[in-house]
Structure 1
Amino acid sequence: MTQRIALRTRPRPGAEEAYDREHATIPADLEAQMRAAGVHTWKIWRDGLDLFHYIEADDYAALQDRLRLSEADLAWQRRMNRLLDGDFDPSATGMRMVWQMEAPAP
């Protein structure tokens, strides 16, 4: 069963535009590793200094365990963490869902 995870991070004040520019694409080798580790979807929205991540993955904890050994991910985290207010926490389990509206049955 696919897990759906929501995370929140924050860019450093003044780094919003740089974050958007640098995160417009990710390295192809990192994307390939993420897909091989079970990521189906990863979307990020920004509202001012709030970044909201939505992830669909086979097993988010296993994904993070696998990426801990990835040179491509380590390089990406170093690159992006300089723009974040606090480093990305791969052990975060996500936000708690409060409410949702499903599409009506056909």
Structure 2
Amino acid sequence: MPERIAFRMKVHPGRIAEYKKRHDEIWPDLAQALRDAGVSDYSIWHDPETDYLFATLVRADDHTMASLPRTDANRRWWAFMADIMDYNDDGTPTVVDLKQVFHLP
């Protein structure tokens, strides 16, 4: 059964317009890599008080999300976004997995 997951990231203060612009122009090869990995229904929300980004996505039972960081499209995207988001020392975005505590179907 497909699974919905959620996580949190952070955009640098004052950079949300650029963040949105870049996502409005998402590269076709990155969108395809996400779909190929079994990702669908991917949404990102912004909290203007904290600049936290809240993301949800649905992943297929047989998803291959763990292989996404090895794709050229994903590596290029992370490098492209590093100037406007919080990143780890290894060049990956800082991501906090979130636990579901309520769902109303």
TM-score normalized by the length of structure 2: 0.82
Letter of the 1:78 counterpart: A
Larger Rg: 1
In 2, the alpha carbon distance for the partners of 1:59 and 1:83 equals: 32
Structure 1 alignment gaps of length 5 or more? none
Identity across the alignment (%): 28
Q: How much does 1:61 deviate?
A: 7.4
TM-score normalized by the length of structure 1: 0.81
Q: How much does 1:30 deviate?
A: 1.0
Is 1:79 aligned to residue 80 of structure 2?
Answer: yes
In 2, the alpha carbon distance for the partners of 1:33 and 1:81 equals: 19
4+ aligned runs moved over 4 Å, structure 1? none
1:45-60 residue pairs with structure 2 within 5 A? 45-48=45-48, 49-58=51-60
Q: How much does 1:85 deviate?
A: 2.3
The structure where strand makes up a greater share of residues is 2
Structure 2 alignment gaps of length 5 or more? none
Show the counterpart of 2:93: 88
In 1, the alpha carbon distance for the partners of 2:11 and 2:94 equals: 13
Q: Secondary structure at the match of 2:21?
A: helix
Alignment counterpart, residue 98 of structure 1, candidates 98, 101, 105:
101
In 1, the alpha carbon distance for the partners of 2:94 and 2:3 equals: 18
Letter of the 2:36 counterpart: A
Q: Secondary structure at the match of 2:70?
A: coil
Q: Could you say if the C-alpha distance between residues 75 and 59 of structure 1 is closer, same or farther in structure 2, counting changes exceeding 3 Å?
A: farther
In 1, the alpha carbon distance for the partners of 2:101 and 2:62 equals: 20
Could you say what the CA RMSD is over the residues aligned between the two structures, in angstroms? 2.0
